[in-house]
Amino acid sequence: MPVALDIEKRQEEIRGLLFDDKVSQALHRLMDFVRDFSQGRENLNEVTVISANFRRIDTAERQKRLGFKEAQSERTELLYQALSLMDVIVETLGVEVASNG
Amino acid sequence: MDKSLLEDAKALRSGIMVHPKDGSAELVQFANKYATTTKLKNNALILRLNCGRAETPDVQSDIQTEMLGLIEHIIKDHEKNVGSQAVKVREETLAKLHRYYLEKQVPNDLVFECKGLTKEYPRSAFKLGEVDLTLRLGQITGVVGQNANGKTTLLRMVAGELRHNQGIINYPVLKQGGELIDWVKVKSEIAYVPQELPPWYGSLADNLHYEAALHGMLGQENDDEVDYVVERLGLSEHLSKSWRELSGGYKLRFSLAKVLVWKPKLLIMDEPLANLDLKAQTTLLKDVRDLAQSLRFPMSVLMSSQHLHEVEAVSDQMVFLRQGEIVYNGPVADIGADRTHNAFELSTSLELVALKDRLNDSRFTDIHYNGVSYLIQTTYETTYREVLEHLLNNQIDILYFRDISRSTKRLFE
């Protein structure tokens, strides 16, 4: 099975990048995942905003406009949102495939 | 109660207390093994991330406490839900989804094909071809060869930037070909990024919106697509910059963004790695590979480069040109399949005479120096392991070693 079609492997790749603290790469691959497996624009816009916010927080922290704890808290929230989005897409697709027999 | 669960939990608690960072990695494995919900698995992953980034002992201590708490949640979840109807239904649904995609095919439509393509330059007496080439969606094709051997000429002909002398060109996915090609339609689906990037005026943001609009994307769709490409290529911090304020690497990424925003079917890049540092090369190649293999908007990529190993690593097929003639044209996996000997590159502090002396063995059929490294030719039967073993056993210090038996690099010699 080509990797592009293997949803499990694609999820594992994203989770693996997060495990290795390669958040930026993980979010880029999540954008690819959402584009490939999600209908409509809403989810893609959501992951685009998550990625943009993540970058904004990192920049603010680097420029000392945001303390570590605040930055960490905001990052954590965004990562939950990103991972939940991936789960919701898989669940929605699963229900669609199951209901179509 | 699951005995292994309790034993694993006990070991994990101790691990987290002694070494939280290592413990956080084990917590992710524990969650993946025992948690029945993705939410708990996600919690473990995020704690792992936060633990690695913790700057002070009090933050570390808070995360440690959270990790210990998560273990208890996972134990309760496992006890309550493992084997439950809800979990079984979810697993079956996911298995069905997996099977559904297993039966699907990745898009690999033929984007471009040419047969007997030639181009002659009477003044210099240079002739390219004949070239037969097929490019498919989702595939990357690398074009390599020394300078002035026809790479740019080939790319420009495929892009419709240069007229060929003989041969047939078709763009099947665009339903165009033969003598009656609608070049406006073809060029609206083909992106050509030349080596010498033309400068642009105004900010990147303006240019991206303009490119998207030229390809029919207006209003919200235009904004969404630009936002996506900017974020996907990591360019948001440079959006307001002008051409002169950008480094060479970012100029290339911006040029890429300008074409990716309209989702071309074929992306042609002439020497994209030429002005990039090592990290930027890796990032670019990885991005291009991932974006080419998109299920929803796949594209074919044709790129020329002197960075043979890097391009071979991401390409599906390679074209090697020497003085305008095709020396190799086929899958990366088949390079060197018909070879009669193996070839290796070696850098060592030894002089050629001393090296030859230590490689005095019938397996080593030729050794010479190309100005940068030694090229060692061996019999076909001699493996890279045997070569390495021989080098080590004969006290030859290895500064660099590479097996090029199955690389287009061997064709340069």
Q: Which residues of A touch B98 (CB under 8 A)?
A: 6-8
- Rounded mean pLDDT of chain B? 93
Position B47, amino acid:
L
The topology (CATH level 3) of B341-411 is: Alpha-Beta Plaits (3.30.70)
pLDDT band at B56; cut points 50, 70, 90: confident
* Class of domain B110-333 (CATH, top level): alpha beta
Res. B373: pLDDT tops 90: yes
DSSP strands (E only) in B100-225: 110-121, 126-136, 140-144, 166-171, 176-177, 190-193
Q: How far apart (Å, rounded) are the C-alpha atoms in residues B307 and A29? A: 25
In this predicted model, what pLDDT tens digit does every residue of A28-46 receive, in sequence order?
A: 999 999 999 998 899 999 9
In this predicted model, what pLDDT tens digit does every residue of B156-201 receive, in sequence order?
A: 999 999 999 999 999 999 999 988 899 999 999 999 999 999 988 8
Cβ contact B290–A5 (<8 Å): no
To probe the interface with A, which of B53, B88, B93 has the most A CB atoms within 10 Å? B93
Smallest CA–CA distance from B283 into chain A, residue: A25
Residue B43, Cα to own-chain centre: how many angstroms? 31
Per-residue pLDDT, averaged over B88-100, amounts to 89
Residue B73 burial (10 A CB sphere; 0-12, 13-18, 19+)? middle
What is the model's pTM?
Answer: 0.92
Domain ranges within chain B, ordered by starting residue: 3-81, 110-333, 341-411
Per-residue pLDDT, averaged over B370-380, amounts to 94
Domain ranges within chain A, ordered by starting residue: 4-93
What is residue A57's predicted lDDT score, i.e. its pLDDT?
Answer: 94
What is residue B118's predicted lDDT score, i.e. its pLDDT?
Answer: 96
What is residue A27's predicted lDDT score, i.e. its pLDDT?
Answer: 97
- Give the gap in angstroms from C-alpha A81 to the nearest C-alpha of chain B: 10
pLDDT band at B101; cut points 50, 70, 90: confident
Using the 8-state DSSP alphabet, how is residue B337 labeled?
A: T
Which strands form B341-347's sheet, in the order they lie side by side?
A: B364-369, B374-379, B341-347, B400-403
pLDDT band at B109; cut points 50, 70, 90: very high
